C-alpha cells in the first residue's frame, strides 16, 4: 500500500512515515502543496494523507487539483483545523475521510487500510482467495486457517495481488507500490519476491502472465 504523505512539519511527517512503514506501508513525503499536487497527478498511490495548512498551495486547492485531474485516490485529511467549516470544505473538495490532530497512529493506520480496501471494491475486511485469507483491517494473512509469516516486501506484494485478485497486476505497478521512491531496485527483485511467495502460498496460486505481470488466483487446476 503506497501512501502519499503531505505534511510540512518535518518532525511530524518523519514520525508518521516511520510508524506507517512499520505497518508495511510504502511512504512518499511531500512537504508543500506544489510538490503534492504534482506527485498526486503523475504517480501511483493507493491513498493520500493530506494536511491543509501547506506552503505554496493549501491542502484544499491540492485536493481540488487532484479531483479536477481525475485522480481518484482515497484522501484522508489530517489537520489541526478541526472546525466544522474545514471539514465541510474538505469533503466538498473530494476528501474521503477527516482526522483532526492530535491523533493516534493506530487510528490513522486503521482508517488508511479501510480506505484502500473500499477503493478496491471490498466491503468486508476479510478477503478470501481459496484457502488464503487476508484481513485488510488488521493486516494479517492466513493460509488454511494458520497465520502466514511474511517479510515486509512479501507482505506488500501479496497484499497488492490480493486486493486485485483474479486481475493481472503489471510489474511496474508492483515496483511502485512495493518500494519507496528513492530505493535502489534490482531489475529482477519482484521476480525474487514472487518466487519466495510461491513457496509459501503455493506456486500455482500466483500466475505469471508473460509480458504483463502476475495474477493471484483461486482457480487452481487439479
Q: What pLDDT, in 10s, does the model give residues 14-60?
A: 999 999 999 989 999 999 999 999 999 999 899 999 999 999 999 99
Give pLDDT < 50 ranges for the chain: 222
Give the model's pLDDT for residue 195.
94
Give the model's pLDDT for residue 178.
82
Give the model's pLDDT for residue 123.
85
b/e per residue 57-84 (b: at least 16 CB within 10 A): bebbbbbbbbbeeebebbbbbbbebeee
Distances (CA, A) of 145 to 188, 192, 206: 32, 26, 19
Amino acid at each position: 500500500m503506497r501512501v502519499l504523505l503531505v505534511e510540512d512539519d518535518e518532525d511530524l511527517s518523519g514520525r508518521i512515515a516511520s510508524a506507517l512503514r512499520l505497518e508495511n506501508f510504502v511512504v512518499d513525503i511531500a512537504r508543500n502543496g506544489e510538490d503534492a499536487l504534482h506527485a498526486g497527478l503523475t504517480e501511483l498511490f493507493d491513498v493520500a494523507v493530506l494536511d491543509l495548512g501547506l506552503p505554496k498551495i493549501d491542502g484544499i486547492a491540492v485536493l481540488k487539483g487532484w479531483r479536477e485531474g481525475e485522480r481518484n485516490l482515497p484522501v484522508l485529511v489530517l489537520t489541526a483545523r478541526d472546525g466544522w467549516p474545514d471539514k465541510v470544505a474538505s469533503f466538498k473538495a473530494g476528501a474521503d475521510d477527516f482526522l483532526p490532530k492530535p491523533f493516534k497512529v493506530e487510528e490513522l493506520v486503521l482508517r488508511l487500510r479501510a480506505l484502500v480496501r473500499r477503493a478496491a471494491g471490498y466491503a468486508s475486511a476479510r478477503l478470501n482467495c481459496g484457502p488464503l485469507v487476508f484481513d485488510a483491517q488488521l493486516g494479517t494473512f492466513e493460509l488454511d486457517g494458520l497465520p502466514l509469516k511474511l517479510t515486509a516486501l512479501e507482505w506488500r506484494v501479496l497484499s497488492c495481488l490480493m486486493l486485485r485478485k483474479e486481475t493481472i497486476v503489471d510489474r511496474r505497478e508492483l515496483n511502485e507500490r512495493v518500494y519507496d521512491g528513492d530505493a535502489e531496485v534490482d531489475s529482477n527483485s519482484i521476480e525474487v519476491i514472487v518466487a519466495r511467495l510461491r513457496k509459501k502460498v503455493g506456486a500455482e496460486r500466483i500466475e505469471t502472465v508473460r509480458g504483463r505481470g502476475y495474477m493471484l488466483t483461486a482457480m487452481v487446476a487439479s
